[in-house]
Each structure stands twice: as structure tokens, then as C-alpha cells.
Structure 1
């Protein structure tokens, strides 16, 4: 909306006349020229009498002025620009915020020249790449700038993200919005002695035109004078490389149309009422684009895959990509693949990422040296953790610090950008290059004995916790029977917490198990693997079970325990069939277990070995042999009176019926499963109801599928629903999701299309997530349902009732 005749100023009046003569609104001209509506309004009203040359040029272009008219507009703008510091000015600035703090000898500061001062912006990079969304957010701050709440944008993140380059580029981009000048001040936050606020204030005041003898001595007075000087000015302040909040606070404007950009390697979380711009790593295509801008598109096109590999090896970190690109630019004949090959060697990657004065290691070292001793220890020892991330408790164990102290250190490392926090859980991860740097520091500052002691301490704790957590899934477990938790105060309370911990620390306890075996701690390996037996049924999709039980077999052999060897050979056969679907290896493993069990006349393990061999035979397509093995297993187990044999018999009967159904003998299968159901109803002395209910859920699943095979669809629904609900309650997705698929198939045959579609969709999504072999069957069932729905929609199957 136009505001009428300008309040004053030759430039403003002339600009207003040009705009209205062109038939443009303020909004239209502002958009065309790339300035804010408020900025344009200030110019026309005479509030901003001398905009910068680039702003005038943008306005002239938007107004389509000829050369003479553009020169006249620039001449009028130059008349309103302030003279150099110390010269007499046409308009004195507002007085200090606290005039009582000025002595009579102090004179009001002169207005600084927007074009000539000691704190000019550094050079913008012509090959600056990406960061579009972050720039858009900053531009929005400027467009909505409210002098009552001048925006402060903190740009933070880990070393090497290009925070200063981004802030400088943003400052140059936004410069037309700040005709009263742009000022950049390096606060040297990574130096041993960062710039003191008092000194920073003096430099800013002098750059803004305050005479030397008018700068107050006191820090608070200087801060107040800065706020006063900035009150009426549209200025951009870039405070680069801030050390902490206390250094920055005195430098911030009060009531002012000023934008302040602050960069820091620290999060500055204590700085109030600021906008945060936390830069992320480049995407791969952005990293390749940066490489292209530095070395040219021809080289990148010739070695497109090598360019992508190079971006990956640089971890998409802008500084690392730029260093690599600068190296290549200085060696135009060198192939990208050659440098990528040098970076592929982890032990020399940081050495390779250097060119001239640019070094990735130096950037990391600056931040590392700022840390106290305990935090440095947590940083470098956390690199010893296994897996993609690390928990505070693991970091504490590796560092040999109390958990609360290590947690505080981890938070400090996050604030310093040296660790990245997980978005939902209390865990942390390294950037790849920072992980290499931390590993280097550990090798340089910790002795081999220190590292060995840290690993032994952590591994022993992890295996004790893993054993205790897994035992919570054993229905026969008695607390303390197989080792107590190393820290009862933080131990998982119940199966859900135990499952969460075992999953989160999976890489850590598995690696600890490997090292325990290499160190000859065979009983510890056996105890841990035995504890995992019941838990492994909950997570059939974990491929690591072949490692766990394979190492247990080796440990049993090392201890000379034939019975433990037989037990874990059976577990290993189960893992090969169920988790890896490697039926050939499973069969040979089960046969080895069977031979040992028969040699020692262990009837229970004989039954299990026949069971697991049958599973492998069925997977190899030898169904009749599998059925014969299961008949032998059921007969062997039925003559035993112990409770473990009853459970083994239940599992064997369930599997036998399943194979009979697959062989086209559903009547026989149903009879076998009814026998299993009777065993469940009778109960097994000494076994908890919860365990028997899981066995019964498995039986109900089989009965439902037997009835479905007999086309008794309506009868099949109830037992399948019972099984899905029970397995869901027990948090056993590897069991519940195949049954959900079975239920969806039954509902499809019952023509309850809407319900069937919902259940089949959920089953398919979950089976894909589990990488379950039946995921393709689920997809096929969904297609069959869609085809039937299309036919039904055309009226070819009129009369069916569909669930909506």
C-alpha cells in the first residue's frame, strides 16, 4: 500500500516519483528489486537517505531506468550517505542509551560510512554451494524484521560445516536490505584468549563512526552506546567464531532494525531469544556440485562415480570436500579416482585431506583443545565403542568415569559439535572423519595398556548386563541364578526394557562376546549364549544368532563339554534355518548334533536334533523325509517324563502338523494340532501360564491354517485372531506378522475386502521390515485382493458383502 508523499529527502522524493510514474506499488518494486517493502518505505520517507550503491542499482534495474536516469538516482543517494568517521555529519546519531554514563568531555559519535570501515565483510566465495533452505529462513527474518525485536541468528554445528562461509555468503546476499552497512568481527572463540567483549565493543563502535575519545571505558557503557548507535540504523552485524554466550550478549542490539549473525562451534544454548541455524552435512549431490564448481564439470563428468565416491569418503563435510576439490584444482592432470583411492585408506585419510593452509585435522584440533581433560577422555575413548553409536553408560565405562560425569561430558561434546545426539534416544554418534580423529587421539594420548583395560572393563560389564537382560525372557529363570546385573540400580525392569537395551547395545555386547572368546573366557561365552536362547525366539530376524551360537559351540569344545556342544549345535542349526534360511548348513549342523546326542543317549537333544533336521529338510524340499524325522522326534520325546521334553514334544507336534498340511494332508494336520492343543490345556507342571499360552497361540495358528486348508474359512478366523493378539502382546513380531498374513488370507476368502486390505497391508509392511521370506506372498495376496475388488466393482460377483 502506498503511503502518500514522502516525509523528506531528495532521494526519497525522487524515488517515490519514479515508482508512481512507473505505475508500481511498493510491494511490486520491492519484489522486483530484491529489497524489503519496509526498506523501500524507509527510503521513500527519507528515513534511509543514502542506500548502498548496489541497492540503487537494483532499484534502477527494476524501474527500467536509462543510463542517465540511473546516474541521477545514484547521485541523489550519494548525497545522503554519511561521510567518513570524524567528518561533520548532516544528521547526528541518537544519544547513548544511558546518557548519565557519558562525561561532558565525550562527544556524540559520528555516523560511519557504510562503504568504508575497518570491519568490512570478508570476500564471498563465488563457488559457494547449497544451503538454500537456511538462506530462505534468514531472508524471512529480514523481510519480517521488527525493530522492537531485532533478530539474532546463531549459526552452529560441528567443525568443518562451513559456518563462516555460510554466514559471509548470507551477509553478502542480504546486504541490500541493510543500507547503513555490514560489519564483520572475528571473536576468535577458538583462540586461547578470545576477544574480550570490551575490546569487541570498541572495534564495533569505531567502525560505526564513534570517535576514539568518545568510546566509554566501561564494558557496560560501551554496550549501551552500541545499542544507542544502532537504534535507527539498518545494519547487519556478523559476529564470527564466538566463544560463549557471555562474549556475545554485550554485542547484541536492543531496539534496532539490525540483523545479527553469530557463528560458533558451540551451540550457545544459553543465549536467549535467538533463531538457530544448525547446518547439516551436504547431501551427496550437493557435495558433488561443490566439487564441480571448484574443478569444473568436465573432470566430474569424466569420473562421475569417482566423484560420488570422493564425496562419501569426505563424509559430505563441506570443509573436507573443499580441501579435496582444492587439491584437485591445483593438480589439473590428477584423476579424481586417485585421490579417492588415497582417502579410502582410513589410517591416512586425515593426512590426505590437506592442501596449503587448509587441513581437516587442524579444524578438529581447535575444538579438541578447548575441552577439559575428562571431556577429551570421553571423546577419544568413545571412538573405541562398537557399532554406529554409543550410549553414555558405554562412554563412561570406556573412559573410566562415573556415569553422571560422563553424561555431562557427552553433552559438552554435543554442544561443541564433536558428537551428534540421536534424535529420540540417549545415544551419540561421530561423523566419520571425527571418529578417525578421535581414534588418532586415543592412539597418541592413551597407552596400549590403558586401551586394553578400558575394553576389558567395558566388555565384562556389557556381557553381565546382556546375560541378565536376556535371562528375563527365560520362564524358568531364577533371579541371580546365572549372574546378576552389574548395576541393579539401572538394570532393565522387565522384558520390554530388556528388549530395548539388548537391541540398542547389540553391536556392543556382540563384539564383547567375540573378544571374550578370543581371550579364552569360554564359560562367559557359554553363559551369555545360553541366556540368549529364549530371547532369540523374540527376534528371529536377527542374523547375529548364528554368530552367538557358533561361538558357543567353539567355547563348549574348548571346555571339553560334549553336552553343551550338542545343545548349542542344535541352537546353531535353528539359527541357520530360521534366521538365515541356509537349510544346507542347518541340516549338516543338526546331523552333527544328532550324532552326538545319540552317542551320549541324550533323548531330549536327540528329539531337538531330529526337529531341526526336519526343518532344514523341508526347506530343501524334502517334505516326506522331514515328516519322517518329526515322527521319530515325537516318538522319542513322548516317552520322556521331564517338562523340557513336553515342551519339545509340543514344538515337534506343531511342526509335524504344519508339514502334513503343506504336503496336502490337512485332515491329518488338524488331528496332530488338536493333540497339541490338548497338551496345552492339560498344562505342564512347573511351567508358567505365560509360556504355555505362547505355545497355545502357536497351536491356534496352526489350527486356523489347517481349517483354512480345508476351506472352513469362518472357523479359521477365531484361532488366527487369538494367535495374532497373543504374539503382539508378547512383542514377538517375527511370530505375529506371518499369522497376520494368514488372517488376511482368510478374510479375503470371506470376501471382507476392506478389513482384509487393512490387515494384509499391515502384514506386508511389517514382513518387509523384518525381511521375512513371506513378504512376497503378502504382496501377491494384496494383488489378488485388488483384482477381486475390481471384478466385484464391475458387478461380476454381485451378492458379496464387503467390509468398509
Structure 2
């Protein structure tokens, strides 16, 4: 019963109960005997109306006593009330509560229980009783009650001769009643006892008190502030957080900074600034370290104060200093009015004392500076959302969200049972959905702990639902929504508007220029606003590539909160903001594509409004267009989705079609299909026929590249009459060319040539020379395959001239590749190598891995034609690696076919056959009859 009562409201394992009752050699019938005892306890509890208080668990028991039933709980409550009264300056109330708490004691703790476990607990309880008694004596001495206290203090000193605090209080009381000689004798007796028993001299404070008594120091007179400051030992730390994981390195850094081991060269107080976003666990870590260090390093007291820095009305330094001085025992009438005077008195009060201050949720340097002690024997932990860079004396320690592993461990420790371990995938998904934010994980864990029937997967399902995520992340006084709201509502209105509107966009990285588009301000003001958002930790920096334009992101839970605040704007205004942002992305992508294509060629244009981007941003985009699009890929894809969600059909389809320049070069076929299907759905709903035709034509190109002619042709046949009806020349030309490509893939070469010819004429009529050059390039392939090398060379030469005139490097590299292939075919490998070496830097500069793979294969064929087998193998291996990197099955098969030819010449037939057998089914899948014939001709005949 004692074991269960000591750990009321906790599960006590059977092993712990055995250790209490039978410390050594428990009987073999131990479990049955415990069950008998438990039954007896249950009967006894039932007699007093507490039948259900004793709970059975699969590995132990718990005694669910209401708070206050145990005298130790009542003692703790009264002590907490006393300390709170002391903090508020009500000394009389504090003394009354202290005395009420001490009156609960009827003798030594756990008297009559001999178990080592109980004795260890008793030592802690008795120590707490003495500490509380000392705190009570401090306040009563402050009240001038030294005569009434003398006998009680003398008794306690005789019972605890090594207790220096009590001895000092006795010395002070004796001195105040005029017994100065006795006071000094008490010191000498204490010193002799300590030297004899411990080999130690008295502590610095006791020695100082002796000197002050010898000198009859005026500060020992009752009621003076200095006396009070030296006597009262505040212990204000809130309850220690029960669980802390994944913070070992930060704990080490903070501890080193506070104890001086990491403060070489720093002047003034040992101080550390823990900073990070709301809910990241700054307060928990600060308190954890404070509790670790308080007894050994800061025995003279610990003061905690919540500065409310993340709220609209942070606490003034004057008010904080008033609290500090009252806590340190300064009588209210003695507290000066001015901040500087209060700060000076505070520094005097803590001079020579080893104290720790925890200043929680600080606003800025102006709030913190007056609160810092002047001497290095004190230490300060400041928590804040932003680093307090203006205070060089503060060592900065950043706190970030937990890793997935640490977050799962925290969840496991809070929940306590086996549910987290039983569903590891659900637990991982759950903590990832809140991005490892410790506050959110703690709330989830607390809720699961109070709902033993709820599974982790069920909780994950509720939290994953963005419509209710923040509603789920509430437990008692803890709320993720409130944590974010406190920071948000403290911001200026303009910044609040910006963050709310930016939350409309689901992007992994939000470039700073978007702020300018959202609010209609210049790039400098936009960057300033984004930096302000990052300073308050509502935006998180994620880098500046590729445009030197800083990028930011929202924590997922912050984004959900901000999206709630965006509801204050009308639906029309939110749609207009999305329209402007999508228009900005479209403008930048169009310029990037134009640089790649030498202009807006082979492109159907709509009527979407464009944005005029800053010149510096354009220069960065144009310096490496493909790289820019690749890095901004997630934002560009998101922009297509946002436009579709808002019913912005025109910018949606235009952006999707412009992005094909990226999709084609990087082989992002899934992106190509998904963006186009998304855009097609919205243009169909809105009746946008031009957009429908443009998207269908582009989807046709995608399916042709995949040799899925059965899917390409229906799209193109739907697009063609729309374009013809709109008299859209470029769109008609593109569709006719794509239909010709379908015929080409099916081996209908004459019909394909006829289609290509018509497409070339349409491109010429539409002043689109790049489309014309690309069409001639594909026509040349048919002529080359049929043996008409002269016509093929002429068409490729004309196409090359056009590309060089307009500056279209992409199509130029393709033309050079086909000219090189023609040279190899005609027995001119040296000339072919010149073509390929000219094309190689073009594709590499554009990071076009698909194109580079083709060029490497071309170089290999030229080397093979010259008998350079080792060089040919190297080129073909490079081509194969590039094809694998882009996931291009057809290119992989072509590279394997070429490698097989090298291996056959090297008489490495086994490896060659393996490659050919890998390539053949791919050629069949793509309908590449020429490659099939070549592969079959190289494979050995089979019976």
C-alpha cells in the first residue's frame, strides 16, 4: 500500500513492488502473495468508498487517488501557494501558507518503513521539509519575528548541525536581539563541526555574515532591502518537463555556457539565448537545464519570468524588475520608480550570489538588457523566437524541430504503453505530418495517453485531415493554434496580410519576389517583409538558389493557421492574388523558354496578364534558364494547381504548356501529364477552346515521345479542328506535325512526309522558323533511312542555319546530332565527331541529360566506325548511365544495342547477348521496327 501511495496515479510494476517488500531473496510464490495483498487492499479501500481506486495493468498496479488526498500533495500545494504569495509581495500570506504546510508533518517522512526504496524517498521528503522551513524562517525574519523564532531555530540547528542556511538564520536572529557574542559563537561552533566532520570551511555567505556581524553592518537591521536580498532564496522554476528527447547537443551547449566552460573571452554574466520557432521546445529545454544545474551551480536561487515577448503586449522591464526585487525580499516601499534605479538595485541584490534567471519568451534586446545581472556568478537563460543579436554577451543556441526518429521517441515516452511501437509506420507518419514540432508531438502524445482505446493510426488519420489538424492539436492549456497566433497577432498589419496571403500557396520554397507580387511592392520592400516574417519564425529560410533571391517556407502547421486567417479576405481578392502570382510565374517561365528557343517559337499563346519582373531577377533567370526552372520546379507545378483550383483557366493552360521546355529536357513525363490533365480539366469546365487545343496538342507530343500512338492520335485529332476553326497558325502547324510524327512512328513514311511538308508551310506562314527547322529535322530522318542522303543533308543544313540565326540552341543540338549520324552512315566518322563535339557543350550547358545521352551515343558510333572500341564502349556506357538517370527506357535500349555491337567485335558474346535480350522487348514496346531488326540480326539464331 505504501509503494502504491508514494507513486499515486502512476503505474507501479510488479518488480518494483517485489523490491519494496522483499529486497533480497523473494519467495517463489511472490506473484500469488502480491495478488493476495492487492485483494486485501481492495477490500480496505472498498470500506471507505474507494473500490475502483486500485487499477490492474498488464505489468503492474496503480492507485488512482484524487489530488489532495495525500498529505504530501497538500504540502506541495501549500508550498506552491506560499511561493506565489512571496513572488507577489504578500509576505504575511506566504508565511501563513508555509506554516500550514509545515503543520502537516507529524514526524519524519515514511517512519517505520525500512526498505531502501522508502528510505531514499524519505531523505528527499525530509530535505524538502527543511528547505521549506528555511524559506519560512527567511520571511519571518524579514517580518522582524526573530525573538519568537529563536528557540525553534536553535532546535533545528542542533538537529542539523551541518545545515549552513539554518546556522546563518540563527546567527542573524541572535544578532538582532542583541546577542552578538552568541551569534559569533554559533559561527565558530559550526566551523569547528564542519572542519572536523567534512574537512571543509563554511560557505562564502556564512563567512560574510560573520564579518558583517563583527563589523555591526547596518544592512543587518530588520527591514532593509539588502538584508532581505541576502536572506530570501527564490525557487521559482515551473514544473520540470517530464520528457525531452533529441536535445543532447543543445543541453551540452547551454550547460557549458552557463557554467563558464564555453564562455572564454566573454565578459559579464554567463548567459545563453535559446531561440527558435514557437512550440519548438525552448522553455522545456531551458527548464531541463535549469533543474540540472540549480543545486550544484546556483544554490542561492532561481527566478523564472514569462516576458510575453511573442504577444502584442510584452511585459515592460520596469514591471519585471519590480517582481524580481519583491521576490528577493525588498519591501515594496523601498523599490524605486525608474527602470535604471530598479536595475541597479537588482544588481546589488544579487551581487555575490550564485543565482539563475530564466527569462522566457523575450521580445528584444531593449526588454532584456536591464534584466541582466552584472556579475559572472549569476547566469541567465533567455528564450526567444528570434536571436537576440544585439546582446553580444548572450551565446546563441538555435533550437529546431525534432528529427523523425527523435519525435517518435518523444511520442513513445509520453504515451507510455505499447501503441507507438505496435504501429511504427503510423507513428512515423503522424510525427511527419506535424513536421516534428515538439509542442504538437507532446499534445498528440498526451491525448493518446488519456485515450487508451485510440490507436496511433486513428490519431494520424485525424491529424492528417488539414481541415481539423489544428483542432486536434489541443490538450488542456496547450494549443498549437494559440502558440502560432500569439506571434502572428503581434506583427504589423501589412506583414500579417502578406503571410496570410502567401499561405494560399502550397510551395516547398517561396521566393522573396512573390511578396512583391502579392502586395504590389518593390523587391527591396518585399525582401524586408519576408525577412521580418523569418525573424519572428513564422517563415523559415530555405536558401537562395538559383537566383540569389532568398526562399522561404512555412512549417505545415503554421501554413494551416495562416490559411485560416486568410478567410478575412474576400474570395474575389484571394483569386486576384493567385492570378497575379501565377501571371508572375508565367512571365518568368516564358522568358526562360524564350532564351532556350531563341524566342516564343513553337508556342501557342493565350491572353493571360503578365507581370513585369525586376531586371535583376530576369538576368538571373536568363543566365541559366533550365537550371532556374528545375530548381523552381515545385513552385511552378504548384502554381499550375493553384490556378486550376481558382478557376483561372487561361494562365493555367499557358503555364502548363510553357513548362514543356523543362519537362522535355529533364524527362519529367509525369509532371508533363499531370499538369496538362489538371489544366485540361479546368479549360473544359470554363469552355476555353484555345487552351483545350493547346493542351491536347502538347499531350500528343508527350504520348508520341512514349511511343503511345494510340493515345496521341485521339488528342491531336480533337485539337486540329479547334485550331483550324480559330485560325491559329502555330497551333495548327504543331498539330499537323505531331500527326505526321504518329505516321512516322507507324512506318507510314510517305504520308508522314506529306504531313511534315504541310506543317513546314504552316510554320513558314506563321513566321515560326524554329518550328520549320524542327519539322525539316524530322523529315530528314525519313529521307536518311530511305537512302536519300542528299535530301536529308540539305534539310538538316537548312534547319541548322535557321537555329543559328535565331539562337535556338536546343533544336540546334538535335540537328547537329542527326547530321553527325548521317555522317557516320555515309562513312565520314571524323566529320561526325566534329558535329557531336559541337553539340556536346550545348546540351551540357543546358544540363540536358536526355540530349547528352543521344550525343554520347553518337560519339560512340563514330568511334566504333573508326575501330576505337575502348572509346566507343566508354561513350556508350556514358549514354546508358544518362538514360538510366532520366528513366528513358528507349534510350537505355539504344545504348545497350550499341554496347552489344562493341562486345561482339571484342568477342564478348555472352555480355552482348545479355544486352540485346534486355533491349529487344523495349523496342517492341515502343514499336521501333528498325532497332528490332538490328537487334534480331545480332542475336544468334535459335532452333
Normalised to the residue count of structure 1, the TM-score between the two structures is 0.70
Structure 2 counterpart SS, 1:379: helix
Query: Residues 466-510 of structure 1: CA distance to partner in whole angstroms, max 9, x if unpaired?
Result: 5566555553559x9988853365572473376677663514642
Assess if the C-alpha contact under 8 Å between 1:242 and 1:264 holds in 2.
Answer: yes
Structure 1 counterpart SS, 2:426: helix
Assess if the C-alpha contact under 8 Å between 1:184 and 1:238 holds in 2.
Answer: yes
Could you say which residue in structure 2 is the equivalent of 1:446? 569
1:316 aligned to which of 419, 427, 436: 436
Structure 1 residues 747 and 217: alpha-carbon distance in aligned structure 2, compared to 1, 3 A threshold = farther
2:408 aligned to which of 275, 279, 288: 288
Tell me the CA shift for residue 319 of structure 1.
Answer: 0.7
Q: Distance in 2 between matches of 1:177 and 1:372?
A: 44
Query: Residues 153-183 of structure 1: CA distance to partner in whole angstroms, max 9, x if unpaired?
Result: 2211111111100111123334576255562
Assess if the C-alpha contact under 8 Å between 2:271 and 2:394 holds in 1.
Answer: yes
Greater shift, 301-310 or 455-464, is seen at 455-464
Assess if the C-alpha contact under 8 Å between 1:108 and 1:214 holds in 2.
Answer: no
Query: Residues 740-771 of structure 1: CA distance to partner in whole angstroms, max 9, x if unpaired?
Result: 565578779846679949x967x778766655
Tell me the CA shift for residue 725 of structure 1.
Answer: 0.8
Assess if the C-alpha contact under 8 Å between 2:597 and 2:809 holds in 1.
Answer: no
1:718 aligned to which of 834, 855, 865: 834
Assess if the C-alpha contact under 8 Å between 1:160 and 1:319 holds in 2.
Answer: yes
Structure 1 residues 747 and 333: alpha-carbon distance in aligned structure 2, compared to 1, 3 A threshold = farther
Assess if the C-alpha contact under 8 Å between 1:469 and 1:498 holds in 2.
Answer: yes
Matched, 1:144 2:262: yes
Could you say which residue in structure 1 is the equivalent of 2:815? 699
Q: Distance in 1 between matches of 2:898 and 2:254?
A: 47
Could you say which residue in structure 1 is the equivalent of 2:561? 437
Could you say which residue in structure 1 is the equivalent of 2:339? 219
Query: Residues 73-132 of structure 1: CA distance to partner in whole angstroms, max 9, x if unpaired?
Result: 996499634669xx9725779xxxxxxxxxxx988678857xx73244333223221112
Q: Distance in 1 between matches of 2:324 and 2:469?
A: 41
1:642 aligned to which of 744, 764, 774: 764
Could you say which residue in structure 2 is the equivalent of 1:416? 536
Query: Residues 27-53 of structure 1: CA distance to partner in whole angstroms, max 9, x if unpaired?
Result: xxxxxxxxxxxxxxxxxxxxxx9999x
1:576 aligned to which of 684, 699, 703: 703
Assess if the C-alpha contact under 8 Å between 2:410 and 2:441 holds in 1.
Answer: yes
Could you say which residue in structure 2 is the equivalent of 1:506? 636
Greater shift, 709-718 or 338-347, is seen at 709-718
Q: Distance in 2 between matches of 1:782 and 1:287?
A: 51
Matched, 1:612 2:724: no
Q: Distance in 1 between matches of 2:199 and 2:895?
A: 70
Structure 2 counterpart SS, 1:241: strand
Structure 1 residues 239 and 81: alpha-carbon distance in aligned structure 2, compared to 1, 3 A threshold = farther
Structure 1 residues 660 and 760: alpha-carbon distance in aligned structure 2, compared to 1, 3 A threshold = farther
Structure 1 residues 527 and 320: alpha-carbon distance in aligned structure 2, compared to 1, 3 A threshold = closer
The residue correspondences of 1:164-175 to structure 2 (distance < 5 A) are: 164-175=283-294
1:486 aligned to which of 595, 611, 622: 611
Equivalent residue pairs, number: 690
Could you say which residue in structure 1 is the equivalent of 2:793? 674
Tell me the CA shift for residue 640 of structure 1.
Answer: 7.9
The residue correspondences of 1:398-413 to structure 2 (distance < 5 A) are: 398-399=518-519, 405-413=525-533
Could you say which residue in structure 1 is the equivalent of 2:462? 342
Q: Distance in 1 between matches of 2:455 and 2:322?
A: 50
Q: Distance in 1 between matches of 2:558 and 2:482?
A: 12
Assess if the C-alpha contact under 8 Å between 1:744 and 1:760 holds in 2.
Answer: no
Query: Residues 576-633 of structure 1: CA distance to partner in whole angstroms, max 9, x if unpaired?
Result: 344x775542243245456888999999878755653465578xxxx56265554444
Q: Distance in 2 between matches of 1:222 and 1:77?
A: 41
Unpaired segments ≥5 residues, structure 2: 1-161, 166-192, 214-222, 909-943
Query: Residues 685-711 of structure 1: CA distance to partner in whole angstroms, max 9, x if unpaired?
Result: xx7625366544223223445667899
Structure 1 residues 255 and 322: alpha-carbon distance in aligned structure 2, compared to 1, 3 A threshold = same
Assess if the C-alpha contact under 8 Å between 1:51 and 1:77 holds in 2.
Answer: no
Structure 1 residues 297 and 602: alpha-carbon distance in aligned structure 2, compared to 1, 3 A threshold = closer
1:495 aligned to which of 618, 622, 631: 622
Could you say which residue in structure 2 is the equivalent of 1:251? 371
Tell me the CA shift for residue 326 of structure 1.
Answer: 0.6
Query: Residues 416-461 of structure 1: CA distance to partner in whole angstroms, max 9, x if unpaired?
Result: 1111122224222111111111111222x33444434444554555
Q: Distance in 1 between matches of 2:388 and 2:256?
A: 22
Structure 2 counterpart SS, 1:371: coil
Greater shift, 423-432 or 643-652, is seen at 643-652
Q: Distance in 2 between matches of 1:693 and 1:335?
A: 58
Structure 1 residues 668 and 558: alpha-carbon distance in aligned structure 2, compared to 1, 3 A threshold = farther
Structure 1 residues 582 and 208: alpha-carbon distance in aligned structure 2, compared to 1, 3 A threshold = farther
Query: Residues 227-247 of structure 1: CA distance to partner in whole angstroms, max 9, x if unpaired?
Result: 577676655432211121111
Tell me the CA shift for residue 338 of structure 1.
Answer: 2.3
Structure 1 residues 171 and 290: alpha-carbon distance in aligned structure 2, compared to 1, 3 A threshold = same
Matched, 1:372 2:489: no
Greater shift, 740-749 or 238-247, is seen at 740-749
Q: Distance in 2 between matches of 1:157 and 1:422?
A: 15
The residue correspondences of 1:131-280 to structure 2 (distance < 5 A) are: 131-141=247-257, 142-146=260-264, 148-149=266-267, 150-175=269-294, 178-181=297-300, 183-189=302-308, 190=310, 193-201=313-321, 203-204=323-324, 218-224=338-344, 235-254=355-374, 256=376, 258-280=378-400
Could you say which residue in structure 2 is the equivalent of 1:475? 598
Structure 1 residues 635 and 775: alpha-carbon distance in aligned structure 2, compared to 1, 3 A threshold = closer
1:391 aligned to which of 500, 511, 514: 511
Could you say which residue in structure 1 is the equivalent of 2:711? 585
Q: Distance in 1 between matches of 2:198 and 2:837?
A: 83
Structure 1 counterpart SS, 2:418: helix
Query: Residues 370-427 of structure 1: CA distance to partner in whole angstroms, max 9, x if unpaired?
Result: 1222222122222112433433443444456666555433322211111112222422
Matched, 1:130 2:242: no
Structure 2 counterpart SS, 1:123: coil
Q: Distance in 2 between matches of 1:548 and 1:179?
A: 62
Q: Distance in 2 between matches of 1:210 and 1:747?
A: 93
Structure 1 counterpart SS, 2:468: helix
The residue correspondences of 1:293-308 to structure 2 (distance < 5 A) are: 293-308=413-428
Assess if the C-alpha contact under 8 Å between 1:50 and 1:82 holds in 2.
Answer: no
Assess if the C-alpha contact under 8 Å between 1:184 and 1:237 holds in 2.
Answer: yes
Structure 1 residues 279 and 500: alpha-carbon distance in aligned structure 2, compared to 1, 3 A threshold = same
Q: Distance in 2 between matches of 1:362 and 1:205?
A: 31
Assess if the C-alpha contact under 8 Å between 1:610 and 1:632 holds in 2.
Answer: no
Between structure 1 and structure 2, the one with the greater Rg is: 2
Structure 1 counterpart SS, 2:505: coil
Superposition RMSD in Å: 5.2
Structure 2 counterpart SS, 1:152: strand
Could you say which residue in structure 2 is the equivalent of 1:625? 747
Q: Distance in 1 between matches of 2:355 and 2:896?
A: 64
Structure 1 residues 754 and 451: alpha-carbon distance in aligned structure 2, compared to 1, 3 A threshold = same
Structure 1 counterpart SS, 2:487: helix
